[in-house]
Every structure is written in structure tokens, then in C-alpha cells.
Amino acid sequence: MNPTYVTFGLTPAVRAGGVLANGTYHIHRDFLDFVVDGRPLLRRLAHLDAVSPLASGLGPSIFTEQVRRLLLETDAPLEGGRFVVYGCPECEGLECGAVTAVIERDGADFVWRDFVWQTDESPDIDLNGYHGIGPYRFRGEQYRAALERLLLTDGAHEVPTGPRVLLIGQRAAVLARLAAALRRIGIGAEITLDAVGALAEELRKYRAVVFGRTVGQEERDAVRDAFAAARSQAVLVTALAPIVPVLVAQVEQALERTPCDRRLVGLTAGGGEAVVEVASECRVRLVAHRLDRLSRTHAHELFDASVEPGIHRIPLAARAVRGQSFVVASTNDVVLVTPVARR
């Protein structure tokens, strides 16, 4: 089979992290996704929770090695000329499963073919192959230019790095627990009482700022002015509640890179239901968090399934949203959080 030409590119993407209802963690990963004919390749695999090899958390030498592999300057790591296209966000083990493909040269062109879900050294293409994906033929000049740019000095800003978040407020237990949770999922976090006097270059390192609930409006305005003067693009958010998973969700929502192209586009909660708006097919997870009268936190899983584009109404169990409560909706790459409106 001689596939027709398609375009190749790279685009920033994210695998959102978070604290799950059972207390376990999802690691946050910034990575570069492959763009085939103008569309991110991972979007064609709607239910897959994975990242490309061009991901944050890898050292510079390892990142360079991944680029060299995709350029076929080193041997294929798997049998049959196979390369990992998307792998587990939590580790680099094949046992967790990975999307692999044969990458080969055909003259000056590069061809990706025979995509398959692989968990061991011998994949079963008939059983686990992605028969609707590929083959793809890329013009060699365009393919090389996109990847080699990452190895140049002027392309360094395109290489994904782990985000940093600044937490502002008293060194209360909630902020300390939030910082620990963010670091656990791969997000750098520092706590300060006042960021107004910080150097501009330091402020520009942060992608989000979280104000503790005790920080007054005057203080928030001063910090906002300091970040604006530093020409920082950090997103400033005010903590909704002293519930760490909700705060982590707020941070993930603030860190979103592509709000105009997201699959999960709307979330409201109240009147006994959560209303979720989805732009394209994806797996959606909903979790309710609440504080009881003794300020103890509770989490309830509400929904976890693949949904079609459109508006979906999901019932809220009364016990899950008693008192002060919040709903967190997430896909693999988008997180939204909203308070539950009281009647």
C-alpha cells in the first residue's frame, strides 16, 4: 500500500493530573503531541490515557534520544522496527500498554504504519491493531524540520517542561498539603506570603497563582499588578475550598494550554444534577467533594464513561452534595471544577 502524503507537526498538549476519589494520584504531564493533517493524533484515539515520548519529566539527554529515534538515527527499541508513539503517563513500562507503530524510510519520506496496542514484545495486529489509523506518509523535509527544531537553541521554548505554581497565603496546613499534592503529581509549587517584591524574571516562571482564602482583595490586586508589570501570563485563581483535590483541580484548570480546542467545554451543578457539555467524543469522569459539619472532606465518584458530543445531565446523589460541595469533571487532558449551587 502506498499512502498519500499527509502533513506532520507538533503541538503542546497535557495529560492532566489530579487526586482521585480513592486517594491515589494521576501524574501531570506536559508533552508535544503529533499533528497529522492538522489534527492531533491522540484525538483520534478518544479513550486513550497516554502521552507521546516527547514529554516533560524526561532529562535533556533522554529527550534528545527520543527525537533521534523518531528520525531513525538510532535502532528501533522494539522488534519489527516498532517505536512507542504513545505510552503510559505514569511510567515508561510496556507492561502498562502502549501504542506502537512501524516507522520506516521510503526514499526521502517517512512512513508510520501498522499502529497497534502493545503490552509485550509480540503484538497481535489482527486483534489489537488500530485499523482505522494510518498508514501515514510524511515528506522528509517537513518531518525532519519539525523534530530537529527541538534540538536547536531557538526551539528550546517548544520543549515541554513541568509547570510551576505559586501559592500565596499564610503557611496554613491546607496550602502545605496542596503544595505536597502538586509536587506529588509533577507540578512545582512554592508558598509565599507576598510576591509583590519578587523579581520579574522569577514571576514569569510561574504558570498559575493560587490565592489562599484568607488573602484579601487588596492583596490580590497588588499581586495581580506585580505579575502584570512582569509581563507574566500566569493565571490567577482564588481557592474555592479547603479541599485539596478541589484545589488541585483548580490548578489543573488554570494550567490548561488549549481552551479553544478542548473536548470538555462546560460544567454546572445544582438542582440535583450536573450538566456537562462535551465537544467531541471522550471519556468523562465526575467526582463530588464536600465538607461536612465537622469540616471533614468526603469524595464520591458520580460518573465514569465515554460520552458523545452534546449536553449530558448526570444525577447528583443527595448524600454526595450535602453542605458545601463541589463537582470536578475531567477528561485525560481537561479539568473543570464548579461549586454545587444551593437552592
Task: Give the Cα separation of 330 and 16 in Å (integer).
Answer: 8
* Coil vs helix vs strand at 295: coil
Helix intervals (H) in 32-186: 60-70, 125-128, 140-148, 173-184
User: What is the count of structural domains for the chain?
Assistant: 3
Q: Are 306 and 282 in contact (CB under 8 A)?
A: yes
Q: What pLDDT was estimated at residue 60? A: 55
Question: For the residues 180-192, what does the mean pLDDT come to?
Answer: 94
96, part of any domain: yes
What are the CA-CA distances from residue 276 to residues 39, 164, 269, 286, 335 (Å)? 24, 29, 9, 9, 12
Q: Is the pLDDT of residue 151 over 90?
A: no
Q: What percent of the chain has pLDDT over 70?
A: 95
Claim to verify: residue 179 and residue 318 sit in the same structural domain: no
274 or 134, which is more confident? Answer: 274
* Residue 157 domain flag: no
pLDDT of residue 217: 92
Domain of 78, in residue numbers: 5-152
- Higher per-residue confidence, 156 vs 3: 3
Greater model confidence, 174 or 251: 251
Residue 330 neighbours by CB under 8 Å, 6+ apart: 16, 18, 249, 252, 264, 284, 285, 287, 336
Please give the Cα distance from 211 to 140 (Å, whole number): 48
pLDDT at residue number 208: 95
Fill in the amino acid letter for 263. R
Q: Residue 188: pLDDT band by 50, 70, 90 thresholds?
A: very high
Domain co-membership, 15 together with 117: yes
Same domain, 17 and 115: yes
Say whether pLDDT at 58 is over 90: no
Amino acid, res. 284: V
Q: What is the DSSP letter of 261?
A: G
pLDDT at 311 over 80: yes
Q: Where are the beta strands (DSSP E) in 107-231?
A: 109-118, 136-138, 164-168, 188-192, 208-211
Same domain, 240 and 222: yes
Out of 117, 152, 187, a domain closes at 152
Mean pLDDT of 66-85: 93
Least confident of 135-144, 156-165, 308-317: 156-165
The CA distance from 231 to 201, in Å, is 9
Distance CA 57, CA 51 (A): 12
CATH of the domain at 200: 3.40.50.2300
For the chain, helix, strand, coil in percent to 5 are: 25, 35, 35
Q: What is the pLDDT of residue 95?
A: 85
In this structure, the answer to whether residues 304 and 334 fall within a common structural domain is yes
Q: Per residue in 220-238, pLDDT tens?
A: 999 999 999 999 999 999 9
Residues 34-51 pLDDT 10s:
999 999 999 888 678 999
Cα gap 152→150, rounded to integer Å: 6
Q: How far apart are CA 162 and CA 87, in angstroms?
A: 18
pTM: 0.89
Confidence check: pLDDT of 156 > 70? no
Query: Over the chain, what is the mean pLDDT?
Result: 90
Contact 287, 320 (CB under 8 A): no
pLDDT tens-digit map of 267-299: 999 999 999 999 988 899 999 999 998 889 999
Residue 142 lies in a domain: yes
Over range 100-127, report the average pLDDT.
93
| pLDDT reading at 243 higher than 60 | yes
**Do residues 99 and 205 share a domain?**
no
Least confident stretch, 72-86, 149-163, 245-259 = 149-163
